[in-house]
Amino acid sequence: MWQWFFKLGSPKWFYELSGKWLPWLVAAMSLLLVIGITWALLFVPPDYQQGNTIRIMYIHVPFASISLAFFPLMAVAGTITLVWRMKLADMVAKTAAPLGAWFTALALISGSIWGSDIWGTWWIWDGRLTSMLLQFFLLVGVISLRSALEDTDAAAKACAVLSIVGCINVFVIKYSVDWWNTLHQPSSPIGMAGDSANGPEIWVPLVIMIVAVYLFFAVSLILSTRNEILQRERRSKWVQELLASA
Amino acid sequence: MLAALQFSSIGEFFQMGGYAFNVWTVYVLFLLFFFVNLYFPLIREKQIIRELKRRLIVRNEVPANKHD
């Protein structure tokens, strides 16, 4: 019963499978991005208060929401590393940290540019903004912790523990808009009818962009994980064979 | 579909109703990040394969030379 689980943990199996999946993922990502960006830039009606800055939402919201997935992902990978010592889990955790820092940074920067006009300020120590900045520093912390420890096993364990603890902050980010009602608005309700405040003409392109950016995240993670596999498994027979045929 | 277009001219599209700086900065940053984030891992993969192949050749040749 557990066989599939351990098979999933085999770097060789992941390398081969991801190689087969990559072209499809890239195709789906490109298609959705082209549709999503065209729709967001040309067809979404301007907001009655924010005008055309509403178009920033189609970048900001996907990046901000996916940033929240990094700590849970690293925590799950970290738990697998701690409990089953699966090599692949730690490789994923290692490549996820810098990617997460970039995604969080882009969410912060795009939000800041959006806010500079709509809120009239680039930055404010609001609950959502502060907890998001904390997540950025936590991710930088995970990256430095790994590079500071020379022993790969010790680094894997330490980063796993930090990732699990860092998950607390994800709840703080999620509920910050409800706990401290300062400036960042809570998530908006969406409606199916065309005449509701946030009708399909607003959220359908947003959903397309969120799926597209999720695919982008998956493709980026797979690409860097494959590199990590090649480096760490360079002495194994299958990599040697792969190199000989490459 | 064209009736749903929000801009009547290219110039109006670039001006974004006065928010050109905000909107275009965010989209340019996104596209920059998008391409860099896909380009670098691909370049790195080529580097790694080249480096590992070189090591493979070196290691395979050393014992062979010793036998001679």
pLDDT digits (tens, 9 = 90+) for B10-31: 888 888 888 888 899 999 999 9
Backbone torsions φ then ψ of B43, nearest 5 degrees? -65, -45
Other CB atoms within 10 Å distance of the CB of residue B8: 8
- Between the CA of residue A147 and those of A104, A141, A150, A170, what are the distances in Å? 20, 10, 7, 24
Residues of A in contact with B34 (CB under 8 A): 33, 216
Q: What is the model's pLDDT at position A83? A: 92
Residues of B in contact with A114 (CB under 8 A): 22, 26
Determine, for residues A226 and B22 on separate chains, whether the beta-carbon distance falls below 8 Å: no
Of the pLDDT bands very low, low, confident and very high (cuts 50, 70, 90), residue B61 is low
Q: Average pLDDT for residues A184-194, to the nearest whole number?
A: 64
Min Cα–Cα distance to chain B from A71, Å: 20
Summarised one tens digit per residue, pLDDT across range A107-122 is 999 999 988 888 888 8
Q: What is the model's pLDDT at position A131? A: 87
Residues of B in contact with A230 (CB under 8 A): 45, 48-49, 52
Domain assignments of chain A as residue spans, ordered by start: 17-245
Q: Of A179, A215, A185, A211, which Cα lies nearest the Cα of A198?
A: A185
Determine, for residues A110 and B33 on separate chains, whether the beta-carbon distance falls below 8 Å: no
Domain assignments of chain B as residue spans, ordered by start: 10-67
| CA distance linking residue A62 with residue B35, whole number of Å | 17
Interface of A with B (CB under 8 A): 33, 37, 41-46, 51-53, 55-56, 59-60, 63, 99, 102, 106, 109-110, 113-114, 116-117, 216, 219-220, 223-224, 226-227, 230-231, 234, 239-240, 243-244, 246
Q: Average pLDDT for residues A199-225, to the nearest whole number?
A: 91
Determine, for residues A113 and B41 on separate chains, whether the beta-carbon distance falls below 8 Å: no
pTM for the complete prediction?
Answer: 0.88
Min Cα–Cα distance to chain B from A131, Å: 22
Task: Classify the phi-psi angles of A85: left when phi > 0, otherwise alpha if psi is within -120 to 50, otherwise beta.
Answer: left
Of the pLDDT bands very low, low, confident and very high (cuts 50, 70, 90), residue B62 is low
> Which residue among B5, B29, B37 places its CB closest to the CB of A110?
B29
* ipTM higher than the 0.90 cut: no
Q: What is the model's pLDDT at position A95? A: 94
Min Cα–Cα distance to chain A from B37, Å: 7
| CA distance linking residue A81 with residue A77, whole number of Å | 6
Q: What is the model's pLDDT at position A195? A: 53
For chain A, the average pLDDT equals 87
Residues of B in contact with A55 (CB under 8 A): 16, 23, 27
